[in-house]
Structure 1
Amino acid sequence: MKMFAGKGRWKREVTGYEEWMSQLPSELHSIPLFNLSIPGSHDSMSYDLDIHSSILEPDRLKKFSRIYCARKIVCKWAITQEEDITKQLDSGVRYFDLRIARKPNDADPTRLYFHHGLYTRTDVKTVLNMMNDWAERHPKEILILALSHFKGFDKKIERPLHTHLMNAIKTLFGSKLVPRKGTPTLKICWENKRNVIVSYDYRRNHHPELWGAIKYVYGNSMNPINVETKLCQELERTPRPFKGFLVCGLNLTLPEDVRIFKYILRLCDNFPNVIHRSLPRLLQWVNEQASKTPMNIIASDAATRDQFVATVVQLNISKHA
Structure 2
Amino acid sequence: MNITHTEKISFRHEWMSKTPSMDRLTLNQLVWPGAHNAGMDVYTANQNALNSVLASHAMCQNGPYIQQLNSGARALDLRVFSNSRNTDVYQFDTFHGPATGSPISDLVKALDFFLDKNPNEFILLDVHQTEGSRGNRFAFKDFNDVIDSRLGERLIPFENRHLTLGELKSVSRKQRVVIATAAHHELDARVFWPKIQHRWSGQDFTSPSELKQHIARTLDNPPGGSLPWSLSATSYIRFDLTAISPLDPFFKVDDTFVRVNKITDELNEWFSPSPSGEWLLKCSIINVDFIDETLLVEYCREANMYKAMNQ
TM-score scaled by length of structure 1: 0.75
Give 1:197's match in structure 2, choosing from 167, 178, 190: 178
Is it true that 1:183 corresponds to 2:162 in the alignment? yes
Please name the residue that 2:65 is paired with.
85
- The answer (yes or no) to whether the contact 1:79–1:271 under 8 Å persists in 2 is no
Show structure 1 runs of 4+ deviating over 4 A. Answer: 107-110, 153-157, 264-267, 318-321
Q: SS at 1:21's partner residue?
A: coil
Q: SS at 1:87's partner residue?
A: helix
Q: SS at 1:144's partner residue?
A: strand
Q: SS at 2:120's partner residue?
A: coil
Is it true that 1:282 corresponds to 2:264 in the alignment? no
Is it true that 1:20 corresponds to 2:20 in the alignment? no
| Unpaired runs of at least 5, structure 2 | 245-257
Distance in 1 (alpha carbons) for counterparts of 2:164 and 2:236: 32
- The answer (yes or no) to whether the contact 2:239–2:259 under 8 Å persists in 1 is no
Q: SS at 2:142's partner residue?
A: helix
Task: Supply the AA of the counterpart residue of 1:183.
Answer: H
Task: Supply the AA of the counterpart residue of 1:304.
Answer: D
Q: CA RMSD in A?
A: 3.1
In the alignment of these two chains, the number of paired residues is: 279
- The answer (yes or no) to whether the contact 1:51–1:118 under 8 Å persists in 2 is no
Distance in 1 (alpha carbons) for counterparts of 2:107 and 2:264: 27
Please name the residue that 2:252 is paired with.
none
Distance in 1 (alpha carbons) for counterparts of 2:53 and 2:285: 31
Is it true that 1:212 corresponds to 2:194 in the alignment? yes
Distance in 1 (alpha carbons) for counterparts of 2:124 and 2:144: 15
Please name the residue that 1:257 is paired with.
none
Is it true that 1:247 corresponds to 2:235 in the alignment? no
The structural deviation recorded for 1:14 is 6.4
- The answer (yes or no) to whether the contact 1:80–1:271 under 8 Å persists in 2 is no
Q: SS at 2:272's partner residue?
A: helix
Task: Supply the AA of the counterpart residue of 1:18.
Answer: H
Distance in 2 (alpha carbons) for counterparts of 1:281 and 1:228: 9
Q: SS at 2:13's partner residue?
A: coil
Report sequence identity in percent: 18
Give 2:293's match in structure 1, choosing from 288, 305, 308: 305
Is it true that 1:29 corresponds to 2:29 in the alignment? no
Call closer, same or farther: CA 1:81–1:239 in 2, change over 3 Å. closer
Q: SS at 2:91's partner residue?
A: coil
Distance in 2 (alpha carbons) for counterparts of 1:295 and 1:123: 29
The structural deviation recorded for 1:129 is 2.7
Could you give the per-residue CA deviations for residues 55-106 of structure 1, whole angstroms, max 9, x where no partner exists? xxxxxxxxxxxxxxxx654232111111111111111111101111234x62
Counterparts in 2 of 1:50-65, with a 5 A limit?
51-52=48-49
Distance in 1 (alpha carbons) for counterparts of 2:278 and 2:106: 40
Could you give the per-residue CA deviations for residues 215-267 of structure 1, whole angstroms, max 9, x where no partner exists? 12123443112112112222222355x4210111211245xxxxx445x5579
TM-score scaled by length of structure 2: 0.78
Call closer, same or farther: CA 1:266–1:229 in 2, change over 3 Å. farther
Could you give the per-residue CA deviations for residues 176-216 of structure 1, whole angstroms, max 9, x where no partner exists? 21011241421122112210111122433342011121112
- The answer (yes or no) to whether the contact 1:75–1:117 under 8 Å persists in 2 is no
Call closer, same or farther: CA 1:266–1:294 in 2, change over 3 Å. farther
Call closer, same or farther: CA 1:155–1:117 in 2, change over 3 Å. closer
Please name the residue that 1:137 is paired with.
117
